[in-house]
Amino acid sequence: MQPSSEIINRFFRYVNIETTSDEHTTKSPTTEGQRNLGTLLADELRSIGLSHVRMDDYGYVYGTLPSNLNDETSVPSIGFIAHMDTSPDAPGSNIHPRIIQNYDGNDILLNEQKEIVMHVSDFPELTQYKGEDLIVTDGTTLLGADDKAGITEIVSAMEWLCKNPELKHGTVCVAFTPDEEIGRGADHFDVEGFGADWAYTVDGGARGELQFENFNAARARVSITGRSVHPGAAKGKMVNALLVGSDFINTLPEDETPAQTDGYQGFYHLVSMEGTVESATIDLIIRDHDAQRFSQRKERLQEIVTHISQLHPHAEIDITIEDQYRNMREKIEPVMHVVQIAERAMTDIGITPLIVPIRGGTDGAQLSFRHLPCPNLFAGGENFHGRFEYLPVTSLVKATETILQIIRRTATSHTKKNE
């Protein structure tokens, strides 16, 4: 393996490039910073020795490490995928990462000037990393480990393989996608050109996470048209769209929000509300692992709109619901060996696999429905999408080792099977 310092430097280089995605535009990639990172990654893949490296018009980056086996026909081609964008949920420019060496298990002062502290009482998972080195933010931005840690781990693994050809492997395909955080990461993915029999997204959280099921997902927008009248003469005339919207929000189940659910529990998540007396819009996302409950959640929103329309007959209320992705479990279960290989690879290097459902989605969810089975591996970070995001250095290294061990196991198991 490469020294951890080299892997850390690579990660720092990537997070210095702002790649926040933008859901308010239809171009791909949605922001120029993603294209800048893609150009850098394509150059790096070429320099370390990958072939067929390209960045397409949509900003996707692809590369291939050819097999070094004498007979590669019996060994599957496998892939590794990470996304280049960072979430628009928190600031993603001018990131200032630093390393806390030998973390002592106590609260972390991220920013003395602004008095920003990451409290163990708020994030108790911190204690399991006592004694390790942690990469943290300065408390004013996210870190970008989601998913630049995944990119770092894939590129570092490919570089190690190119420098150590004695490790026999089949064909390995890599890809880096734009705009995953806004649900578009697989929209223009070239599955056929990618060339893998199956793949892994390296986009999970804590060390050891291995995931092959995710939420069914949809987004909803409620549009409300009211009536604006001078407040001094508004009695019996004004229809305040914001108040109508508040009634809609207050009718949502209080115990079915992200802050009140975990595991396999679904939710409604209020993303934004904006407007004036005259008009307002409410954006939500709907999530559930179970397909039937997911369908019921969408129906429930329609029923709430009907109910609020009856309470406010002079307001115009419309809702549009758009499906985003489905639970990949139904596509992975027939090929569970792809999960088992990853599980055994982690065990080989001393990691306890944590097979848990994704309370979100990955590019792999959509790609699995396009005939590319694609479970999700841990990238190692914690507290994604926020100012308290952090990344244990050991997790960064162990994720890289996991990728290498999956490649090793895939080659040896299929070679032995065909001897």
Q: How far apart, in whole angstroms, are the C-alpha atoms of residue 42 and residue 50?
A: 9
Q: How far apart, in whole angstroms, are the C-alpha atoms of residue 158 and residue 323?
A: 35
- Inter-CA distances, 392 with 26, 133, 160, 278, 382, Å: 35, 6, 21, 49, 9
Q: How far apart, in whole angstroms, are the C-alpha atoms of residue 42 and residue 235?
A: 64
Tell me the Ramachandran region of residue 144: left when phi exceeds 0, alpha when psi lies from -120 to 50, beta otherwise: left
Tell me the Ramachandran region of residue 52: left when phi exceeds 0, alpha when psi lies from -120 to 50, beta otherwise: left
Q: How far apart, in whole angstroms, are the C-alpha atoms of residue 239 and residue 251?
A: 19
Numbers of helices and strands, H then E, in the chain: 10, 17
Q: How far apart, in whole angstroms, are the C-alpha atoms of residue 103 and residue 126?
A: 9
Contact between 52 and 62 under an 8 Å Cβ cutoff? The reply is yes
Query: Is 85 an active-site residue?
Result: yes
Contact between 162 and 53 under an 8 Å Cβ cutoff? The reply is no
Q: How far apart, in whole angstroms, are the C-alpha atoms of residue 352 and residue 334?
A: 24
Specify the 3-state DSSP secondary structure of 161: helix
Which amino acid, residue 85? D
Contact between 338 and 201 under an 8 Å Cβ cutoff? The reply is no
Q: How far apart, in whole angstroms, are the C-alpha atoms of residue 322 and residue 256?
A: 20
Specify the 3-state DSSP secondary structure of 205: coil
**Torsion 134-135-138-140 (CA) sign:** negative
Q: How far apart, in whole angstroms, are the C-alpha atoms of residue 365 and residue 329?
A: 9
Q: How far apart, in whole angstroms, are the C-alpha atoms of residue 180 and residue 200?
A: 15
What the block records as the tokens of 281 is 């819009």
Q: How far apart, in whole angstroms, are the C-alpha atoms of residue 295 and residue 105?
A: 43
Indicate which residue of 180, 256, 389, 401 is catalytic: 180
Indicate which residue of 85, 197, 288, 401 is catalytic: 85
Query: Is 43 an active-site residue?
Result: no
- Candidates 204, 106, 185; CA nearest to 366 is 185
Q: What are phi and psi of 291, to 5 degrees?
A: -65, -40
Residue numbers annotated as active site: 85, 180
